Structure 1
Amino acid sequence: MKSDQSMSTPIILKGKNTSTDVRSNPAEFSCVSMKSDQSKDKPATFKGRHTSADLSHNSQLIQSGFKSSLMQKFQCLYEGIAKQGNPTLLNEIYTELYITESESGGINKEHEVRQIETQSRRAATEDTPIKCSDIFRPLPGQEKPIRTVLTKGVAGIGKTVSVQKFILDWADGKENQDVQLIFPLPFRELNLMKDKTLSLLDLLHIFFPETKEMEISSNEYKVLFIFDGLDECRLSLNFNVKLCDISESASVDELLMNLIEGNLLPSALIWITSRPAAADLVPSECVHRVTEVRGFSEPQ
């Protein structure tokens, strides 16, 4: 990288699978992370007129760029109106929430205040507690992998904060390093796209401009999509159109449903949060685990 000619030569990044290349401009550092447990064992390789030191340096830049942008976005909580109140570092105030695995995605018709009272009386022996960072890890005795998780919880119980903490711990290199990319897509923001027709790639390019430097495929990266606030969804959630090509254009609701069903990016992990009343908008056969945020445990 010491000549004009080498500066114009694109860097080709190859992951574990070599069928898809990721092209990145070495002058742009806001690229998507490739950091994972697997990538540590088999480091990403580059092609071009570069020394081994150049390759290592650029690999580190690509690994850290996307995570750094997510850390900046999610490291603070705001008191009052979002982005206008007083910022507080999440890691300084976060207390682990009490999350349990539910038997099913059944809908509780009681008022949410009544649900909180019922939960507080539930015997601890009836619960299977799960750490937020472990929601995609099977419990002892569970053999099938978990692809899609639906997390329920009444309003204000801490679902969004749990999502924020999950992302922050991943970006900070503490948890779930087998996941290479996390795409948080809140329904509140997706609602603004409901009249658009675009491909999944186009959607990711809008929300995450760094992905323009990549070629995302089901085999190249282990990715996680987080759809927070299903109860706020204003999309029609059409399960009748099948899509398998991430470059094929469709409505946003059709893109989401094909992601959830596993037609698009079948190896991608999906995490959906919702108030209980809206949890049945996702067909139960598409959900591999249902969890419930119940606030704090008795000692907490």
Structure 2
Amino acid sequence: QKHIRVVLTNGVAGVGKTFSVQKFTLDWAEDLENQDVSLLVLLSFRELNLIKDEQYSLLTLLHVFHPTLQKVTAEQLAVCKPLFIFDGLDESRLSLDFNNREVVSDVTQKSSVNVLLTNLIKGNLLPSALVWITSRPAAANQIPPPCVDRVTEVRGFTDVQKEEYFRRRFSDEELSSRIISHIKTSRSLHIMCHIPVFCWITATVLEHMLTTEQRGELPKTLTDMYSHFLLVQTKRKKNKYDEGHETSPQELREADREVLVKLGRLAFEHLEKGNIMFYQEDLEQCGLDVTEALDSGVCTEIFKRESVIFQKTVYCFVHLSIQEFLAAVYMFHCYTNRNTEVLKDFLKVDDDDDDDDSFIDDDINFYRTSN
């Protein structure tokens, strides 16, 4: 029954959290909904990461991220009803320490970004402000439950909406019916299709397989689907830039192998760190040249970049499951190439143990035998 000031919205990767935020913002801007809110400020964590080590006041933060608010004063901010939307907590590299006793209550007082955010969420800073945070479930626990007044969830498509997606996407009714029928034959595919992004991946793969001369069984597992997705995107890039020159699948794999391994390393190392957004320095640490990554055939619709504030660029995989798949590809590569250093770190084997190498060899042999 208490006043709802802070709302946390959960949802798995690609289910539509950011889309919901954009729709909410657009409806507000067009005077259609939530007109009791006098100022709406959208701040994404992928952009806030860029200034995590700098000092700002809340007022300056607004001016920097939204230049149209340059004329907004501290007095105006104090008397209006603002809504702050912090999108993508799971993408945050800030250290949100809610036990930090540093209190910031003045919108002109400078502090670190994480301190500003925690004080805003706690209500110490601009208590009249509403706060909406979106996050994947795994990262939502960064916000202590006592600080949240309401938890909501974006659940994605219902079974009816899954079919509606494919029927709207394809004008060919026969094609959409075949795709829908195939998805229903695989429980894992049908379940995953509640995520809109996965519907797009599935549509991309099945449309290509059903409308070209490519033969073979349609993918029924997630591994098969992602493998085909990589191949489809690689072939599209090849056709676009190679002027129709045909390359065998084996040659194509060899040409893209190095970039694929580097992308897999990036995916794997940052999954361990809990990162799903990457910056220039992250790519460089994995030996990945930006131009190389984005011009490679495997990167057409797999690895994308966005220009954000300060003309900075951020990178991410099109969906978390793509990052997970490429991380698995990288681990498979390490197994087959006996990259014991990576395997030791992953398996947390003590380097001083004399049996380390044989332990890993046993794992490699078991893996090869069982697959």
What CA deviation, in whole Å up to 9, does each residue of 1:4-62 have, x standing for no partner? xxxxxxxxxxxxxxxxxxxxxxxxxxxxxxxxxxxxxxxxxxxxxxxxxxxxxxxxxxx
Counterpart residue number, 1:87: none
Structure 1 segment 76-87 matched on structure 2, within 5 A: none
Secondary structure of the residue that 1:149 maps to in structure 2? strand
Structure number with higher relative contact order (C-alpha < 8 Å, ≥ 6 residues apart): 1
Counterpart residue number, 2:129: 268
What CA deviation, in whole Å up to 9, does each residue of 1:122-165 have, x standing for no partner? xxxxxxxxxxxxxxxxxxxxx32210000000000000000000
Cα distance in 1 between the residues matched to 2:17 and 2:70: 30
Structure 1 segment 107-118 matched on structure 2, within 5 A: none
**TM-score w.r.t. structure 2 length?**
0.42
Counterpart residue number, 2:151: 290
Secondary structure of the residue that 1:205 maps to in structure 2? helix
Counterpart residue number, 1:254: 115
Counterpart residue number, 2:46: 188
Cα distance in 2 between the residues matched to 1:147 and 1:298: 33
Specify which structure has the higher proportion of helix: 2
Q: 1:180 is aligned with what amino acid?
A: S
Q: 2:60 is aligned with what amino acid?
A: D
Q: 1:228 is aligned with what amino acid?
A: D
**TM-score w.r.t. structure 1 length?**
0.51
Counterpart residue number, 2:5: 147
Instruction: Give the aligned CA root-mean-square deviation in angstroms.
Output: 1.2
Cα distance in 2 between the residues matched to 1:298 and 1:223: 37
What CA deviation, in whole Å up to 9, does each residue of 1:230-281 have, x standing for no partner? 0110011132121101111100000011111111110100000000000000
Cα distance in 1 between the residues matched to 2:80 and 2:132: 17
What CA deviation, in whole Å up to 9, does each residue of 1:93-118 have, x standing for no partner? xxxxxxxxxxxxxxxxxxxxxxxxxx
Decide which of 76, 83, 103 is 1:224's aligned counterpart: 83
Cα distance in 1 between the residues matched to 2:111 and 2:30: 35
Unpaired segments of 5 or more residues in structure 1?
1-142
Cα distance in 2 between the residues matched to 1:226 and 1:179: 12
Cα distance in 1 between the residues matched to 2:135 and 2:74: 28
Structure 1 segment 1-300 matched on structure 2, within 5 A: 143-217=1-75, 219-239=78-98, 240=100, 241-300=102-161
Cα distance in 2 between the residues matched to 1:291 and 1:213: 34
Cα distance in 2 between the residues matched to 1:243 and 1:225: 17
Cα distance in 2 between the residues matched to 1:282 and 1:150: 9
Q: 1:148 is aligned with what amino acid?
A: V
Secondary structure of the residue that 1:213 maps to in structure 2? coil
How many pairs align?
Answer: 158
Unpaired segments of 5 or more residues in structure 2?
162-371
Cα offset for 1:211?
2.2
Cα distance in 2 between the residues matched to 1:219 and 1:197: 21
Cα offset for 1:299?
4.0
Cα distance in 2 between the residues matched to 1:204 and 1:292: 28
Cα distance in 2 between the residues matched to 1:298 and 1:179: 35
Cα offset for 1:212?
2.2
Is the Cα–Cα contact under 8 Å of residues 10 and 135 in structure 2 kept in the other structure?
Answer: yes
Is the Cα–Cα contact under 8 Å of residues 74 and 108 in structure 2 kept in the other structure?
Answer: no
Secondary structure of the residue that 1:238 maps to in structure 2? coil
Q: 1:157 is aligned with what amino acid?
A: V
Cα distance in 2 between the residues matched to 1:246 and 1:264: 7
Identity of aligned residues (%): 62
Cα distance in 2 between the residues matched to 1:231 and 1:179: 26
- The farther-off stretch of 273-282 and 204-213 is 204-213
Specify which structure has the higher proportion of strand: 1
Cα offset for 1:298?
4.4
Cα distance in 1 between the residues matched to 2:145 and 2:113: 21
Q: 2:103 is aligned with what amino acid?
A: K
What CA deviation, in whole Å up to 9, does each residue of 1:199-226 have, x standing for no partner? 1111111011222212134542110000
Is the Cα–Cα contact under 8 Å of residues 54 and 112 in structure 2 kept in the other structure?
Answer: yes
